Amino acid sequence: MSLFCPKCGSLMYPKGGKMSCGCGYKSEEAGMIKDKKKSKKEVEIVEKEVEVYPIIKMDCPKCGNKESYYWTVQMRSSDEPETIFYKCTKCKNQWRQY
């Protein structure tokens, strides 16, 4: 099945169960286009927080865990250093370092 018209080379489009072209050409093959019915599947909701931040060895001041997620944010003007935020992988405590 070609999506291009053999007569003029334009892109063909579905019409009346056959492929048609703007120049008037219609494909001779019947039943080329099949209707795809959308299935009604239920969406599973997962209530789990997924962290995408990198992990670094940093002691949590609250629970003493040795690993933390980290990310940086430019809080002040561009000539000042970024602020580093940390989040404990165990107790989810957050803190920052300037």
Is 80 a catalytic site residue?
yes
For every residue of the chain, DSSP letters joined together read --SB-TTT-PBPEEETTEEE-TTS-B-S-TT---PPPPP-PPPPP-------S-EEE---TTT--SEEEEEEE--S-TTSPPEEEEEETTT--EEEE-
Is 44 a catalytic site residue?
no
Catalytic residue among 29, 51, 59, 80: 80
Catalytic residue among 28, 44, 47, 79: 79
Residues catalogued as catalytic: 79-80
